[in-house]
Amino acid sequence: MQTLRASKCGLSTAQLPSSILDVIDALTKAGYEAYIVGGGVRDLILGLNPKDFDAVTNATPAQVKEVFGRRCRIIGRRFELAHVYAGRELIEVATFRAPPKKAVTSASGMILRDNNWGTIEQDFARRDFSINAMYYQPRKGIVLDFCHAIDDIKNKTLRLLGDPTLRFEEDPVRMLRTLRFAAKLNFSIAPEILEIFTPEMTQLLRDISPHRLYDESQKLFTMGHLNRVLPMLIDFDIWRQLFADISPDISTFIERAAINTDQRIQIGKTINPAFFYAVLLWKPFLERCNFYLSKGVVPAEARAQAGLDVLKRQATRTIIPRFAETFIREVWEMQTRLLNPKPQQIQALSTHARFRAGFDFLLLREKSGDDTTQGMGVWWDAYQQMTTDEKERAISQYNRQRAKSRRKTATEDVVETKLVAVEIEPLVNEPEPRSRRERKSRAKPERPVQSASSNGSEIGYDHPILKRKRVKRDLSQVVFGPTQ
């Protein structure tokens, strides 16, 4: 172990928010050891802006609770942690961990419970990468480096602590973390990891819960280097584990969306990870729509059912939360509305909660060479820049063109359009409830059957979806997820 001078690593307390100093000081005052550890230290040394700061201490979660009282909540079962609220921020305070006991690992070696408290040396050995295992005591101005992590930082190398095979078996999510940090920090992956990072190894990810994989996928999408990590996901065969039904090739649309996501993060804009899921699943969604259309299902129904099917399949890998699912289906449904809007609904559409995401999606499709958008991405782009008068003229012109093209099939009057407030129909209906309790509370006998065959391959001639005409639904129940 070497003790480094913090100032020599480019660290100073001036870079730290008062919240983390608060936590370190309170624990020290109560007689415990306390350090900043993990990504916060690593990023500061690298001159990056840390996402957050994690603290580690020899106090048990119960003792941390004693120090902070009502400001502290103990969370987690597999991994017990204290959450301390400091001002408006939340600091994660972990207790030094010893190696897990044999009885709490699965047959494949995966750690199932991990609440065996230990010393700082043991805690160090439990961490994933050397660069994530530096302990910074800001008040003493020192950094404890147990494995020459500082050299790995200098050489831009990602090195797992211990035997890479064992470390991946213990927690297969470390494979995702390897790619995430390699992409985020632009580090190279140590040869001993590359050697064992095989497609067979990635199979272990099947043991990880779809909830945890969703969280990890979100981290991949929002780290600011999505475009760099996507090809890595394919090269290392992780893609197949995360997105089973999405063919592993990066279309122009996906690439543009990834670049766009990274750029938004770079300029400090918020991003909604569900948007990228909407992009990834767009092709499977269209294919599923076509499948239903070919069976004679009416378009609106085909879209609704295809959306449910595709998300249900994806949920076997990464469970997308309900509000995010709704968001995705609304973005897809917006595509139809924006492509062929009723003139009198144009104004209402442009102020709809899902307009922005739907429009961004449409424009991305168009810029990626998707000519099925018929130039409507650019049309909506221009529309938003217009004055009220210009908007009215643009709508009238759009209306005339629309009527002209419609007249080819049916004669129709041209309706002069004024900008009036028109309510538009909700974009999607509430999906099937997931839990039994939810289902019970929403049980309505008259509600039509929504799901097609769950394996998703065939629907018979007598399938309920084919018998259905448009059914009047109870739309008062529709909920929208939060906009980000």
133 belongs to the binding site for ligand ATP (CB under 6 A)? yes
Which span sits near ligand ATP by CB under 6 A: 50-58, 65-73, 189-197, 349-357?
50-58
Spatial strand order in the sheet of 72-75: 2-5, 142-145, 134-137, 34-37, 54-57, 89-95, 81-86, 72-75
228 binds, among ligand ATP, Mg ion, none (CB under 5 to 8 A by kind): none
Contact, 293 vs 299, CB < 8 A?
yes
**CB closer to ligand ATP out of 52 and 392:** 52
Q: Which of 313, 309, 186, 306 is nearest to 242 (CA)?
A: 313
What is the spatial distance between Cα 38 and Cα 53, in angstroms, rounded to a whole number?
A: 8
User: What is the β-pairing status of strands 81-86 and 72-75?
Assistant: antiparallel
Asked if 52 is an active-site residue, the reply is: yes
- SS3 (DSSP) at 325: helix
What is the spatial distance between Cα 305 and Cα 463, in angstroms, rounded to a whole number?
A: 13
**CB closer to ligand ATP out of 22 and 43:** 43
159 belongs to the binding site for ligand ATP (CB under 6 A)? no
Q: Tell me the site size for Mg ion, rule CB under 5 A.
A: 1
132 belongs to the binding site for ligand ATP (CB under 6 A)? yes
Out of 22, 43, 54, 145, the active site residue is 54
Residue 13: C-alpha distances to residues 5, 37, 100, 285 (Å): 13, 14, 34, 50
Min dist CB 431 to Mg ion, Å, is 33
The dihedral through the CA atoms of 232, 243, 354, 435 has a sign that is negative
Residue 453: C-alpha distances to residues 210, 431, 450 (Å): 21, 16, 10
The CA angle 324-328-329, to the nearest 5 degrees, is 120
Q: Which of residues 9-38 bind ligand ATP (CB under 6 A)?
A: 38
123 belongs to the binding site for ligand ATP (CB under 6 A)? no
Q: Which residue, judged by CB position, is nearest to Mg ion in the bound state?
A: 39
39 belongs to the binding site for Mg ion (CB under 5 A)? yes
180 belongs to the binding site for Mg ion (CB under 5 A)? no
Strand partners, 4: 143
51 belongs to the binding site for ligand ATP (CB under 6 A)? yes
Asked if 245 is an active-site residue, the reply is: no
Out of 43, 114, 123, 128, the active site residue is 128
Which span sits near Mg ion by CB under 5 A: 32-40, 144-152, 180-188, 239-247?
32-40
**CB closer to ligand ATP out of 128 and 301:** 128
Min dist CB 54 to Mg ion, Å, is 5
Among 24, 84, 149, 173, binds ligand ATP (CB under 6 A): 173
User: What is the β-pairing status of strands 157-158 and 188-189?
Assistant: parallel
Asked if 163 is an active-site residue, the reply is: no
Binding site for Mg ion (CB under 5 A): 39
* Contacting residues toward ligand ATP, per CB under 6 A: 38-39, 51-52, 54, 127-128, 132-133, 171, 173-174
Active site residues: 52, 54, 128
